[in-house]
Amino acid sequence: MRKTLFLFLALTLSAGLWAQSAGDQFVDKTSGLRFEITAVGETNTVKVIRNDYAGTSYTVPATVTYQSKTFTVTTIGDGAFFNCNALQSITLSASVTTIKYNAFKTCKALQSIDLSHVTTIEYAAFDQCKALQSIDLSHVTTIESSVFNGCTALQFVTLSENLTTIETSAFSNCILQSITLPASVTTIGEKAFFNCLHLTDVTVAWTEAAKIPTIDENVFRNIANSQGPSGATLHVPDGTKMLYQAAAVWNTFDTIIELAEYKAAAIAEIKQLATDAKTAIDAASPYKAADAIKLDYKAKIDLIVEAAIEAINSDEATTVARVDELRSLAVLRINGRKEEALTAIAKINEFEDAKVQAIADITNARQGIQNENLNNWIEAAISDIQHGAPDATPGIDEIKEEILNLINFFKEGKAEGETTGDAAGYQRGLAEGDSIGYARGKAEGIEEGKAAGKAEGLAEAKAALPTDPEGTAGHTVTITKGEKTLILVNPDKVTYGKQE
């Protein structure tokens, strides 16, 4: 009996030592986070609590194990990461649905956190998180006071279609550029968007005067570069402009525009951009060779405009955000096609400019040449250049180089003939005797030798050129002058040999 009683007491004591209860705390070695038990029983839950967190990033797991029991992580506790200046990113498991007050307050380096599955965010949870740029609140129905106050890098916010309340200073001192308030919102607290200097577009969805929230004049104070509503645009549903023009504070917006008007303005902008793009394409080249590319890309731009107009006017485009998205896409595509066209045209211009320069160089080099055969060859080369394509073989530079070599070779032969004639005449004059005869002989000999040498040089150069500039298949001409040799090869039409 005593043994049985002792065993019972031992088991009871052991169970008491290992029992868990709400309020117990422990550190999870895997995540490096400290937890507190919030419930034990049918559901075993914990929350992340404050600790000396010095890391730059943490991952909050869906579950943790403590004394062989598994707990679900549902909450980030109040002040859990308060003033953790090194924290840059934190990953929350989908099990985390609640973020308590001051949880991440003054985490000035925090850039990234996914809140898309969170349903409750309490007071000042992200106050002064100055590096946070975007947030998804698609499941949050109440945004409490100062939750994102002083988030001076916050530009993009996604709100829930079931959002009902935006409390005081919820987004004050952010850099939001636009905000869309769903029809479900019934309350907007004082200074909710106070001092959002970049906020210039506010979109609302209420279609009945009775459902338009009554707001304090400070809700949008100092937006739009401190101008307030007078410097911003209010986007309202079709047929409701007069309702907002009659609603206090809402009627202080500089521009109140219905969706249909906004669509028309977006379409006009797209059309003007397309016109400007096509004008730039037309002006990009003076050459006919670019005409086909111009027509092709202008047609592509017209198709983009047509598709954008159809999409914007469709039932799909029911919000300003969607119209903006479609407009931005059209602008991106139009500019893309324009740049593609200008790049292609620039290549054509470069090729055509090279043609013009090559022909000018050949024309300058041929000045003074009277040889009919050589001139026919030059004309054939110019024709080939004029009608050549970028991928043609031989290319422009090759044709120009070889025809210039031929011209220079001809000129050198002529000059050599003249020089040889001068020397021979001079020697003949010296051999003829007395001073008078010497002088006369020298003069006559020089002139005669010059003429003979020139004729001899010209004859030799002419004889070396083919008589048919168009050539026949397999025709080969070799011109030799002194130590220089030029080989001309003619397959079907005119091709150009190489100087050796």
Encode pLDDT of 100-152 as tens digits: 999 999 999 999 999 999 999 999 999 999 999 999 999 999 999 999 999 99
Residue 135: strand pairing partners: 157
488 forms bridges with which residues in the sheet?
A: 477
Q: Would strands 33-39 and 25-28 be described as parallel, antiparallel, or unpaired?
A: antiparallel
Cβ proximity of 355 and 384 under 8 Å: no
Question: Residue 146 has what pLDDT?
Answer: 98
Task: Please identify every stretch of the chain with a pLDDT value under 70, giving residue numbers as ranges.
Answer: 1-18, 414-500
Asked if 179 and 203 count as a contact pair (C-beta separation under 8 A), the reply is yes
pLDDT at site 139: 97
By the 8 A CB rule, do 121 and 99 touch? yes
The answer to whether the Cα torsion of 438, 443, 446, 447 is positive or negative is negative
**β-strands 33-39, 45-49: how paired?**
antiparallel
Token pair of 138 as six digits: 């698609």
Contacts of 83 (CB under 8 A, 6+ apart): 105, 106, 107
pLDDT at 275: 97
- Give the separation between CA 203 and CA 215, rounded to whole angstroms: 15
Question: What pLDDT is attached to residue 375?
Answer: 83
State the Cα–Cα distance between residues 448 and 445, nearest whole angstrom.
5
Number of Cβ within 10 Å of residue 289's Cβ equals 15
Predicted local confidence at residue 481, as pLDDT? 46
Other beta carbons less than 10 A from residue 68's beta carbon: 7
Instruction: Write the single-letter amino acid at 64.
Output: V
CA distance 410 to 376: 14
> In the numeric block, which tokens belong to residue 254?
């500089």
Q: How many helices (H) and strands (E) does the chain have?
A: 9, 21
Nearest to 366 by CA among 346, 380, 386, 351: 380
CB 239 within 8 A of CB 261: no
Q: Is 203:178 a contact under the CB 8 Å cutoff?
A: yes
Q: Establish how many alpha carbons lie within 13 A of residue 425's alpha carbon, considering only the half-sphere containing its beta carbon.
A: 22
User: So what's the pLDDT on residue 427?
Assistant: 54
pLDDT for 332: 97
Distance CA 44, CA 30 (A): 19
